Amino acid sequence: MINIYLILLNKKDGEGEDDHPFPELSNKSISSLDELVDDQRIRKKEDDGLKLVETVFDNKTRLILFKMMNKGLFSVLEGAISSGKEANVYFAYTKKESIAIKIFRIDAPSFKKMRPYVEGDFRFKRFKSSRSGFIEVWARKEFKNLKRMAEHGIPVPKPIAVERNILLMEFLGDEDSVLPRLKESPPKNPSSLYKRIMESIKTIYRQCKLVHADLSEYNILYNKKTDEYFIIDVSQAVLNSHPQASIFLVRDLSNINNYFSSFQVKVFEIGKLFKWVTGEKIDENLLIDLL
């Protein structure tokens, strides 16, 4: 049996089993977890391009993963699905299904650039000024945004749980691979998909009261077999009352227009799209900034 407890602590079998840094965890908890993961494996899947990246596993992160496993939120942790500046996403199993675990980097280099997306959001008026405190808010923000979007029918990975810098959510893909980004998988019917994505932007704005603020072909997963799409990476999404919401919306609309224009889709003018989405006339200065 592979001792999951030791792996999460980044130790080898027989090394420091009785001297772990988390004395608040009882031997009973450790024992029950070992029983839970008996015959399970944490393994690298290099053939699938999934590699376990351990740079995000600080001690507190390992402790939370341990507790989540003990609660039965997942039972097997595999390799990394993706690795980015802000977070790594890992493939995992529960007893019934596959899930994705997103671990936000406490040492994210873009920490300062992320702050404007939280400041001005009444849902997170109070948050610790420390780096770790902010990243915790960033993870909760993605959870709340995903939940709100899912409740209004937006195709997103359904959120499961969040704690500190760890977000559990629905896995989008099959046993062999995650769904590709739209950038990597040209749509079957570009014109139809363009209109559906624009409808989602409108629903996100009017029903969810949000603006994605970083929407592009890189933040949309696409299933060519079913012609389904899923909007991802919504941690930076802001309320539509945010001081810079209009700027972010225009940028999102422009990104989607630019992508679909490459497929000779007849896209709508930004000004008309903005009014259609918001019900308000666009500030001409926003259009000038795009030139």
* Whole-number Å distance between alpha carbons of 101 and 77: 9
* Residues 96 and 15 reside in one and the same domain: yes
pLDDT score of 110: 64
* Residues 58 and 151 reside in one and the same domain: yes
pLDDT > 90: percent of the chain: 53
Catalytic residue among 214, 227, 252, 283: 214
* Residues 136 and 278 reside in one and the same domain: no
* Residues 68 and 126 reside in one and the same domain: yes
* Residues 142 and 231 reside in one and the same domain: no
Query: Which residue, 170, 192, 215, sits at the end of a domain?
Result: 170
Write down the residue that tokens 């999460």 correspond to.
8
* Residues 156 and 199 reside in one and the same domain: no
Catalytic residue among 233, 252, 283, 289: 233
* Residues 128 and 156 reside in one and the same domain: yes
Query: Which residue, 170, 199, 220, sits at the end of a domain?
Result: 170
In a domain, 175, yes or no: no
| Local structure of 143: helix, strand or coil | helix
Which of 248, 200, 273, 100 lies closest to 282 in space, CA to CA?
Answer: 273
CATH of the domain at 109: 3.30.200.20
Query: Which residue, 121, 147, 170, sits at the end of a domain?
Result: 170
Q: Which helix (H) or strand (E) holds 245?
A: helix 245-261
* Whole-number Å distance between alpha carbons of 240 and 201: 12
Give 95 or 284, the one with higher predicted confidence: 95
pLDDT score of 80: 83
- Confidence class for position 83, pLDDT limits 50, 70, 90: confident
Range of the domain at 135: 4-170
* Residues 49 and 21 reside in one and the same domain: yes
- Confidence class for position 25, pLDDT limits 50, 70, 90: very low
In a domain, 16, yes or no: yes
Give 267 or 43, the one with higher predicted confidence: 267
* Residues 132 and 193 reside in one and the same domain: no
φ/ψ (deg, to 5) at 121: -100, 110
214 tagged catalytic:
yes
* Residues 23 and 158 reside in one and the same domain: yes
Q: Is the pLDDT of residue 15 over 80?
A: no
Q: Is the pLDDT of residue 286 over 80?
A: no
Name residue 150's amino acid: A
pLDDT score of 106: 82
pLDDT in tens, 31-71: 433 443 343 334 444 444 334 444 567 788 888 998 999 89
- Quick one: tokens of 104? 């936000």
In a domain, 260, yes or no: yes
Q: Is the pLDDT of residue 158 over 90?
A: yes
In a domain, 177, yes or no: no
Secondary structure of 37-96 as H, E, C letters: CCCCCCCCEHHHCEECCHHHCCHHHHHHHHHHHHCCCCCEEEEEEEECCCEEEEEEECCC
In a domain, 176, yes or no: no
* Residues 192 and 95 reside in one and the same domain: no
* Residues 165 and 201 reside in one and the same domain: no
227 tagged catalytic:
no
DSSP conformation class of 267 = P
Residue 38 near residue 2 (C-beta atoms within 8 A): no
Secondary structure of 167-223 as H, E, C letters: EEEECCECCCCECCEHHHCCCCCHHHHHHHHHHHHHHHHHCCCEECCCCCCCCEEEE
Residue 181 near residue 229 (C-beta atoms within 8 A): no
Number of domains within the chain = 2
In a domain, 11, yes or no: yes
Name residue 39's amino acid: D
In a domain, 90, yes or no: yes
In a domain, 56, yes or no: yes
CATH of the domain at 244: 1.10.510.10
- Confidence class for position 200, pLDDT limits 50, 70, 90: very high
Give 17 or 249, the one with higher predicted confidence: 249
Write down the residue that tokens 């790594």 correspond to.
88
Helices (H) and strands (E) in the chain, counts: 9, 9
